[in-house]
Structure 1
Amino acid sequence: MSDEVAPGFVRVRLDVSYDGKDFSGWAVQRGRRTVQGEIQDALRVVMRLPEDGPPVELTVAGRTDAGVHARGQVAHFDLPEELWERHGEQLLRRLAGRLPMDVRVWRVAVAPPHFNARFSAIWRRYAYRVSDHPGGVDPLRRGHVLWHNWPLDVDAMNEAAAALLGEHDFAAYCKKRDGATTIRTLQELRWERLPDGVLEATVKADAFCHNMVRSLVGAMLFVGDGHRPPSWPAGVLAAGERDSAVHVVRPHGLTLEEVGYPTDDALAARNLEARNRRTLPGPGGGCLTPCR
């Protein structure tokens, strides 16, 4: 598969944020409100594209689920050069006037050669926020912070997190999808208690499989409140299958904070690597990517 842009087209990068509360996730779904659907519709209107013509199709770095937020989402689409010349300079301001207030485009720019919002990414960084305050969550933050009604031990959670770092098959923490690998490289996983008392998990990986972050957080909350020892999440990982004790926590505490990309001259190589067959050392092996 080539990432070359067709002659007569330009590839446009969008940097996006949204409050996921009222969206059925990123991806277009018939009869449901989605982030992709809102942006594609806004692009069609502000560029005066015909309603019965082909839609502007966005490719995204990470397809967030219903209720998940984003501060640093990245998407791209290909646009005929004449439309870019006509609308590109005003596109950002026009989108601001057309989009609903719970989704914003912060940057519109021509992407470098070989850029692909999904396959060029070398990491995605999420944050999950939890309050263990006995009184609950600040009402002004209730849509972005989970309340956990048990005191949490940050040191125990970080001990558990350290054992999950590196490249593993995260099948025990993922909802499997046909043809998709569950092998991932978890680059960073740590907890800190912020000055306001909220606990924030930083979760960074080359890619994530479905429900992976929320499952990892659920396991570590069980450690933090004393229901499981710090060794338990690593034991679940090694078992390689879903454990009914691992809860997928609610989506509203999760935010996609940032997506990382290599230098422009390394984009083509990264795209190829991201599409390669992915396996772990030893018997067996992985499945074909793509990774999210």
Structure 2
Amino acid sequence: MDVSYDGTDFSGWARQPGRRTVQGVVEDALAKQPPGAAVPKSVVVAGRTDAGVHATAQVLHVDVAPLAGKTSSMLAVDDQGIPDLTRMRHRWNRILPADVRVLGARVAPSGFDARFSATRRHYRYQVSDAPWGVDPLRRNDTLAWGLPLSVDVLNQASEDLLGLHDFAAFCKQREGGTTIRELQRLEWQRVDDHLIRAAVSADAFCHSMVRSLVGALLLAGDGRRGAAWPVEVLEKGVRESAVAPAHGLTLVGVDYPPDAELAARADQTRNVRSSF
């Protein structure tokens, strides 16, 4: 399933007791309109976004028990026992709140895992350096920065962060997890007079990694730190940089290998990387 959401009023992706989460409302919709013979178990997502983070291209999968014949609602069922997913998408979107949409649904190829089969994730971070702040219509997905930013300095500071590194200085540690990641793209572009956009891609991201990188780079971009400071933080391995606010961040894409390589990629990803 391909899903888009405005993260403003969510406490992140992952279901939490007593909190409104994207996973919670998606699973509630699947429970009310199951895509199979029974209510599916918990969905698996490509990237667990934090509170306030948005997505235009989130990917998830769910295991489904096949149907036999027609459902009680007379939806057509294919040879695999799966109902018409175009009509199911319409039904889910009628159930879901307006800040979450299912964009598409299809039967996954053999070996597919939304999380572990992914080869890379793509994020966008948007910043306004206008002296008046941010356009009111962009306030939910763009950070207002109070100082003018140099795109040249931002790109210069970003270049040395690319590649395979231990990003412990830019991640919240999780027990049993690794902070070794391959940062494949980190580019800044001024797309309007006062609107700057960062494109960030990696094989995977550890917790708060993109926001921590952006926070450090913005301090270099406005001149309060030197262009070499972010890579110095990386080399020290000590978490000391600012973390940019969540609302400027959007998940905009997830890449997967060819169908024949999905299972192998999932096995490879499950092996926790401990060196580089």
Q: Partner residue of 1:17?
A: 4
Equivalent residue in structure 2 for 1:68, among 33, 53, 71? 53
Given the alignment, which residue of 212, 216, 228 partners 2:209?
212
Alpha-carbon contact 1:154-1:193 (below 8 Å) kept? yes
Cα distance change, pair 131–213 in 1 and its aligned pair in 2 (3 A)? same
**1:189 to 2:186 alignment:** yes
Deviates more, 1:135-144 or 1:89-98: 89-98
Match of 2:146 in 1: 149
Report the counterpart of residue 198 of structure 1 in structure 2.
195
Partner Cα distance (1:137, 1:164) in 2: 28
Query: Which residue of the partner structure matches residue 16 of structure 2?
Result: 29
**What's the CA shift string for 1:256-278, capped at 9, x where partnerless?**
00000000011111111101231
Cα RMSD, aligned residues only: 1.7
Q: Are residues 1:269 and 2:264 paired?
A: yes
Whole-angstrom CA distance in 2 between matches of 1:120 and 1:143 = 31
SS in 1 for 2:83: helix
2:245 counterpart residue number: 250
How many Å apart are 1:106 and its aligned residue? 0.5
Unaligned runs of 5+ in 1: 1-13, 282-292
Contact 1:24/1:34, CA 8 A, preserved across alignment:
yes
Q: Secondary structure at the match of 1:158?
A: helix
What's the TM-score once normalised by structure 1's chain length? 0.87
State the shift of 1:173 in Å. Answer: 0.3
Identity %: 54
In the alignment, what sits opposite 2:88?
A: 91
Q: Is the 8 A contact 1:25 1:64 kept in 2?
A: yes
Cα offsets for 1:79-137 (capped at 9, x unmatched): 11117736343211101111100000000100000000000000000000000000110
Number of the residue aligned with 2:72: none
SS of structure 2 residue aligned to 1:204: strand
Q: Does 1:259 align with 2:246?
A: no
Tell me which residue corresponds to 1:42.
29
CA–CA distance in 1 between the matches of 2:35 and 2:222?
55
The answer for the alignment partner of 1:112 in structure 2 is: 109
Q: What do the CA deviations read for 1:146-189 (whole angstroms, capped 9, x no partner)?
A: 00100001100100100000000000000101100000000000
> 2:123–2:252: 8 Å Cα contact kept in structure 1?
yes
> Matches of 1:187 and 1:179 in 2, distance apart?
24
Q: Is the 8 A contact 1:43 1:56 kept in 2?
A: no
Unaligned runs of 5+ in 2: 69-76
